[in-house]
């Protein structure tokens, strides 16, 4: 059966994994700027956590969320590696991979087409940024000043379970794919099972010492 990652959902999943940390950093920076006074005043007035989230946290986080969404959108529009590895085997094309296929399979006549496709990518990216700017202006919540940062949420007895879940996520997202790449690099060709007899370091020797283009690409 075909690898399920060779699909639209596989591309979406890996793009989310790749750009998730960037979104997290932007949203985290916004959360750290939330004024504790507003949250404590709402809690003292009898508001529950859901009410605080909807009426205070989310409105004040709108600029950070919009900026993170725009950054992820622009990055995904121009991403080539993931759609190329997962989309081309499934005949699922996006603009960057379409440009690659036209340049690889055509002559000078396709330069005009690929130039227009590149301009189209830029237009889509600018449209995403413009949409983010318009949506942010519609809900303009600004923090004029704050004396205390937001109070950290104590996990209490749930801390070990949350930590275990986070470590499991790190292992699944980071280490397992890297481990899979290392195993794949040890086989002499695609589709060959990795065994004690087929394992080889010839790929490393070729790339590091014999392939001149790889050396130039590394230093570039």
Q: What percent of the chain has pLDDT over 90?
A: 10
Rounded CA-CA distance 58/44 in Å is 19
Q: Does the pLDDT value for residue 143 go beyond 70?
A: no
- pLDDT per residue as tens digits for the range 46-72: 888 888 888 888 888 888 888 899 999
Torsions phi, psi for 205 (to 5 deg): -65, -40
Q: Which fold has domain 1-150?
A: MetI-like fold (1.10.3720)
R_g of the chain computed on alpha carbons: 24
- pLDDT score, position 113: 86
- pLDDT score, position 149: 60
> Which residue ranges make up each domain of the chain?
1-150
Q: Give pTM, 2 decimals.
A: 0.71
Helix (H) or strand (E) holding 192: none
Residue 192 makes CB contacts below 8 A (sequence gap 6+) with 198
């Amino acid at each position: 059966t075909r690898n399920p990652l060779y699909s639209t959902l596989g591309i979406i999943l890996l793009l989310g994994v790749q750009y998730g940390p960037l979104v997290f950093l932007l949203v985290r920076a916004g959360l750290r700027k939330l004024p504790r006074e507003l949250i404590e005043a709402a809690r003292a007035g009898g508001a529950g956590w859901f009410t605080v989230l909807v009426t205070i946290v989310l409105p004040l986080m709108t600029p950070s969320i919009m900026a993170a969404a725009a950054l992820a959108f622009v990055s995904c529009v121009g991403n080539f590696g993931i759609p190329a590895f997962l989309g081309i085997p499934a005949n699922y094309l996006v603009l960057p991979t379409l440009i690659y296929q036209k340049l690889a399979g055509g002559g000078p006549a396709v330069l005009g087409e690929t130039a227009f496709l590149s301009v189209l990518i830029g237009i889509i990216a600018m449209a995403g940024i413009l949409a983010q700017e318009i949506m942010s202006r519609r809900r303009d919540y600004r923090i004029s000043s704050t004396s205390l940062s937001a109070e950290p949420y104590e996990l209490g007895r749930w801390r070990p379970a949350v930590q275990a879940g986070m470590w499991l996520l790190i292992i699944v997202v980071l280490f397992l794919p890297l481990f899979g790449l290392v195993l794949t690099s040890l086989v002499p060709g695609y589709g060959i099972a990795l065994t004690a007899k087929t394992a080889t370091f010839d790929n490393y020797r070729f790339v590091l010492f014999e392939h001149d283009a790889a050396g130039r690409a590394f230093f570039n």
